[in-house]
Amino acid sequence: MPCGLRQLSSLHRLTRFILPQKNALAKNYCRLGELNELNNIRGSLSIENLGHITDAKTESRVANLIEKHSLDSLALQWGNFDTDDAVIGNRDEALLDGLRPHSNLQKLTINGYNGESFPRWMMGSLVSSLPNLVGLRLWNCGRCKHLPQFGPSKLKRLEITEMKFLEYLPEECWKSLSSLEFLRIKYCPRLTSLSLGMQHLSNLVDLSIRSCEELDLSKDKTGKILDFQGLKSLRSVEIIHLPKLASLPQWLLQLSNLERLEISSCVNLKALPEHMKALQSLQRLRIFRCEGLQSLVT
C-alpha cells in the first residue's frame, strides 16, 4: 500500500491492507501506523503479511483497531514466513495483543498466527471484549494448544483449521455456545477426542470434521462414551479422513433430525450398523473412498 494513506481520514471502505514483505521496502510503503486515523472505515478489512512486522508491540498499537467502530469483519493474516524461531512466537503474541478490534466486530479471522497462546482479550472471555461476535475462524495457528475462552456468546459460526498442537476440546469451551449453528474442525493432527461439552450445542445445524488422524469420535479424553443428547438441531454431518473411525459413534445414530450424512476417506470403517435405520429423517447418504467397508449393516 502506498505511503500517505493515513491522510484519507474520511475513507469509508478499505477491504485489503497489504504490508510489505521485505524490510528494504518498508520505507516506501505503508506500515500499520497508516491505519491510525482511518477510523471511519467500515464493512470488512483484511490486514495481510503481518508476519513480516518487526516492531510488533509498537506497530500493532498505532494501528488503532480498537477505535474502528464501524468494522463488521476483520481478517488478520500473517502470510508465509519462517516459523522455527521461538522469538517469532513471542512477537506474534505481542502483535495480536495490540490488534484488539472494537467491540462492535461481528466476524474475526486469524490466519497464520504463531504464538503459543491467544492474547488476554481472547483468553479472558471473548464475550467481554467482542460481545457481538457471530463468526470466528482460527486457521493455521500452528503453536496454539488451547482455544479462546468464549463465555456466553452470540457466536454462530466457528472454524478451527490447522491447529497442529491442539489435543483436546475442553468441556467448558462449549457450555456457553448454545447459539452455535456451524462448526468446522479440520487438519488438527493431535486432536484425540471431542468433548462431552458439545452436548450443549443445542442449535448446531452443520458439523464437519476432516483430517484429524488421532481423533476418536466415540470417546472423550477419559475414555467415557460420548453422548450428545443435546444435538437436536443437527441436520448435516461430514466425516472425512478420520483413520481411527472403525464404526459410527453412538451419538451420531441418535440424531433423529439428521438429513445429510457424508463419510469419506475413512479407510478403517468396516460396516454400517443396523441402527442406521433410526436416522428416519435422513435424505442424503454419501459414502466414498472407504476401502475397508465390507457391509452396510452388521
Residue 155 has a pLDDT of 93
The mean of the pLDDT values for the chain is 89
Tell me the mean pLDDT in the region 175-181.
89
Residue 220 has a pLDDT of 86
Tell me the mean pLDDT in the region 104-108.
97
Q: Is residue 94 part of a domain?
A: yes
Residue 52 has a pLDDT of 85
Whether the per-residue pLDDT at 82 is higher than 80: the answer is: no
pLDDT class of 190 with cuts at 50, 70, 90: very high
Q: Is residue 294 part of a domain?
A: no
d(CA 215, CA 242): 7
Q: Is residue 295 part of a domain?
A: no
Tell me the mean pLDDT in the region 10-37.
84
Q: Is residue 134 part of a domain?
A: yes
Cell numbers 456466553 correspond to 152
Q: Is residue 98 part of a domain?
A: yes
Tell me the mean pLDDT in the region 205-233.
92
Q: Is residue 293 part of a domain?
A: no
Q: Is residue 184 part of a domain?
A: yes
Tell me the mean pLDDT in the region 72-93.
79
Q: Helix (H, G, I), strand (E, B), or coil: what is residue 249?
A: coil
d(CA 95, CA 119): 9
Give, in degrees to the nearest 5, the angle at Cα 77 between 72 and 83.
155
Residue 9 has a pLDDT of 87
- pLDDT top residue among 248 and 26: 248
Q: Is residue 164 part of a domain?
A: yes
Percent of the chain predicted with pLDDT > 70: 95
pLDDT class of 142 with cuts at 50, 70, 90: confident
pLDDT, one tens digit per residue, over 42-61 is 999 999 999 888 888 888 89
User: Alpha carbon 158 to chain centroid distance?
Assistant: 5
The total number of structural domains that make up the chain: 1
What is the span of the domain harbouring residue 122?
Answer: 5-288
pLDDT class of 85 with cuts at 50, 70, 90: low
According to DSSP H, which parts of the chain are helical? 56-62, 86-98, 120-123, 126-129, 171-174
Residue 139 has a pLDDT of 95
pLDDT, one tens digit per residue, over 59-73 is 889 999 999 999 999
pLDDT class of 175 with cuts at 50, 70, 90: confident
Residue 229 has a pLDDT of 84
pLDDT class of 271 with cuts at 50, 70, 90: confident
pLDDT class of 172 with cuts at 50, 70, 90: confident
Domain containing 237 — which CATH number?
Answer: 3.80.10.10
Tell me the mean pLDDT in the region 266-272.
91
According to DSSP H, which parts of 19-104 are helical? 56-62, 86-98
3-state secondary structure 155-210: CCEEEEECCCCCCECCHHHHCCCCCCCEEEEECCCCCCECCHHHHHCCCCCEEEEE
Segment among 73-87, 203-217, 244-258 with least mean pLDDT: 73-87
| Contact yes or no for 141/114 (Cβ under 8 A) | yes
d(CA 107, CA 130): 10
